[in-house]
Structure 1
Amino acid sequence: MSELRVATVPPGGPFAGLADTAALAGRHLLHLRRAPGKFLGIVMNPLILLIAVGYLFRNSISVPGSGNYQEYLMAGVAVQVGLASIGPTAIGVAMDMRGGLVDRFRSLPVSRTAVLVGQTLSDLIVSALGLMIVMLVGLAVGWRPHTGPLSVLGGFAVILAFVYAMLWVGVLIGLLLRSPETIDSVGAIVLVAFSFLSNAFFSVQGLPSWIRPLAEWNPVSAVVTSCRTLWGNPVVTGTGFPADHPVLVTAGTLAVLLAVCVPLSLRAYRKA
């Protein structure tokens, strides 16, 4: 492991936590240059889905209401950036734990919270860059927003909020499982389950009735519907509270995820 240098301010200072967080986030971003596979792992799955499903099969899949399937699909593909970020973040945390980094941090005047917040902020920057690439490719293959700049930016903000919540899910998984092999398997299950038990690619109305409520309350469905609405892309009319109030459901579910994952992650880190 490379030599660790963390710039800190005097312990207990008013900006100690912020300085530690910035330094640790910078450390993770510098390491990305030596491990570009992490970035590729985040963007490749969404790009493959966008090109294979949205471009090659665009004429084979119809959207209820005669909507453009590429525009319908784009929000679902964008959400994949967040789901695909869970595994790399979890593995990064697990590798740091196994490599003795926790003991080294404990010997330094470094905020305990800053260690995990720095990890998630650096990964958020990486995911934001990945999202930008995915959206640019989407524009190249036919996706178009049909609303004003503020609504379009609002859609991106919803995606990034979802990404940040997923990063904390990844942190918690990494702290609890510790094994990269196990994390890889769990991450794949989460990616597939949350993607296909949602309206990311197809309307939930086509799912069996017994599983439809689960898909309707899936956070991915709420995020995707919110983005489609904000971008002016086709939205398949659903029934029930999640379909009628997607933004409210998105805000509530992401708040619950953060309220659960952040404290549990900090507690697991302190006990490590």
Structure 2
Amino acid sequence: MSITAQEPSPKPIPRPGDRVSFRQSWRDSMVVAKRNLLRMLRIPEVVIFGLVQPIMFVVLFSYVFGGSITLPGAGNDSGAYREFLMGGIFAQTVTFATAGASAGIAEDMQKGIIDRFRSLPMARGAVLTGRTFADLVQTAVILLVLALVALLVGWRMREGVVDAVAGFGLLLLLGYAFTWIGALIGLSVRTPEAATSGGLVWLFPLTFVSVAFVPSENMPSVLQPVAEWNPFSATVLAARELFGNLPPHYEAPDAWPMQHPALASLLWSILIIAVFRTLAVRKYKRAAS
């Protein structure tokens, strides 16, 4: 008697829109992230121009405006302001990645690339997750180069290595959170040009009505609570604490985020990711149906 071995039946291929496992979703996200990273490598101008603006801000605020901005307890010491400034420049740089995420997703929508992804048996959220991961890697590279430039103009990290790593981690987490806002904007407009404008127009008041460039006590009283409860401010102040860049004799305002900036920054970033990732994925699924 002979026994015929039966070949195992192949696993069914999931159809577009089917529920997939976390492992499959992660793998799909990494494939999309790799695609976007390869695209960035082939267009290095994206990273180069992404560095120009923060470097210009460092030079302008340090050497042009720095002498006219007084920090409490520091007098006219431009070196103290330069260290105070860098936390704000770092945070502004990571949040401005929002515009790139908006424009990139809007461009893929316009060219029909997103429609091709929709027809594939892959997790729906993987397209957006992969894109935001790729933007996070690009932001990390820009942040690294900017830190090297800051060291050249006199900025120093005066706390331990662990605190410095934690500071950069909070900055990148905020940048990642804001890319989800950019993803939602990119899915909501029709052209990359509109996405770029939509990704930047709200960032300027958010970053300037904060403690990024001047202490909140230097602002009009009506703007002080806005600046102190601004999620951007919490990350800026947390970075200053962890890098050891607080002004001499600094006293934090009474607002809770200013008293606990690292925890406030972490909570704000998690909240932004939870809210805007949900909205962006829902928007993507609705557009795909």
Normalising by structure 2, report the TM-score: 0.86
What CA distance in whole angstroms lies between the structure 1 residues aligned with 2:215 and 2:260? 17
Structure 1, residues 95-140: CA drift from partner, whole Å, max 9, x if none? Answer: 1112112221122112211111100001100000000011100000
Q: Of the candidates 238, 244, 249, which is equivalent to residue 264 of structure 2? A: 249
Q: Which residue of 2 aligns with 1:81?
A: 93
What CA distance in whole angstroms lies between the structure 2 residues aligned with 1:55 and 1:155? 25
State the secondary structure of the residue aligned to 2:25. helix
Q: Of the candidates 114, 119, 124, which is equivalent to residue 112 of structure 1? A: 124
What CA distance in whole angstroms lies between the structure 2 residues aligned with 1:136 and 1:172? 32
Tell me which amino acid in the other structure corresponds to 1:244.
Q
Contact 2:98 2:200 in 1 (8 A): no
Q: Of the candidates 166, 170, 173, which is equivalent to residue 182 of structure 2? A: 170
Q: Which residue of 2 aligns with 1:37?
A: 45
Gaps of 5+ in 1: 1-8
Bigger drift between 10-19 and 162-171 goes to 10-19
- CA, structure 1 residues 10+140, in 2 after alignment: closer, same or farther (shift >3 Å)? farther
Tell me which amino acid in the other structure corresponds to 2:241.
T
- CA, structure 1 residues 171+221, in 2 after alignment: closer, same or farther (shift >3 Å)? same
Q: Deviation of residue 64 (structure 1)?
A: 1.1
What CA distance in whole angstroms lies between the structure 1 residues aligned with 2:26 and 2:126? 7
What CA distance in whole angstroms lies between the structure 2 residues aligned with 1:244 and 1:250? 11
Note if 1:47 corresponds to 2:55. yes
Structure 1, residues 168-217: CA drift from partner, whole Å, max 9, x if none? Answer: 11101111123222222222322311111001011111111112111111
Q: Deviation of residue 31 (structure 1)?
A: 0.9
Q: Of the candidates 45, 60, 84, which is equivalent to residue 72 of structure 1? A: 84
What CA distance in whole angstroms lies between the structure 1 residues aligned with 2:88 and 2:106? 28
State the secondary structure of the residue aligned to 2:105. helix
Q: Which residue of 2 aligns with 1:240?
A: 255
Higher Rg of the two aligned structures? 2
Q: Which residue of 2 aligns with 1:132?
A: 144
Q: Of the candidates 177, 180, 192, which is equivalent to residue 192 of structure 2? A: 180
Note if 1:225 corresponds to 2:237. yes
What CA distance in whole angstroms lies between the structure 1 residues aligned with 2:283 and 2:73? 48
Q: Which residue of 1 aligns with 2:17?
A: none
Tell me which amino acid in the other structure corresponds to 2:48.
L
Where do 1:16-27 residues align within 5 Å?
Answer: 16-27=24-35
Note if 1:63 corresponds to 2:71. yes
Q: Which residue of 1 aligns with 2:204?
A: 192
Contact 1:123 1:167 in 2 (8 A): yes
State the secondary structure of the residue aligned to 1:247. helix
Structure 1, residues 125-173: CA drift from partner, whole Å, max 9, x if none? Answer: 0000000011100000000011111001110001010110011111011
Q: Deviation of residue 57 (structure 1)?
A: 4.1
- CA, structure 1 residues 13+189, in 2 after alignment: closer, same or farther (shift >3 Å)? closer
Q: Deviation of residue 14 (structure 1)?
A: 6.3
Contact 1:83 1:190 in 2 (8 A): no
Tell me which amino acid in the other structure corresponds to 2:53.
N
Q: Which residue of 2 aligns with 1:102?
A: 114
What CA distance in whole angstroms lies between the structure 1 residues aligned with 2:22 and 2:242? 39
Contact 1:45 1:84 in 2 (8 A): no
What CA distance in whole angstroms lies between the structure 2 residues aligned with 1:14 and 1:32? 27
Identity among equivalent pairs (%): 37
What CA distance in whole angstroms lies between the structure 1 residues aligned with 2:180 and 2:126? 13
Structure 1, residues 218-264: CA drift from partner, whole Å, max 9, x if none? Answer: 11110000010111112543222121111222122112111110010
Structure 1, residues 27-56: CA drift from partner, whole Å, max 9, x if none? Answer: 001111333333234322211111111244
Contact 1:82 1:167 in 2 (8 A): no
Q: Deviation of residue 18 (structure 1)?
A: 2.1
What CA distance in whole angstroms lies between the structure 1 residues aligned with 2:244 and 2:65? 22
Tell me which amino acid in the other structure corresponds to 1:51.
V
Tell me which amino acid in the other structure corresponds to 2:107.
M
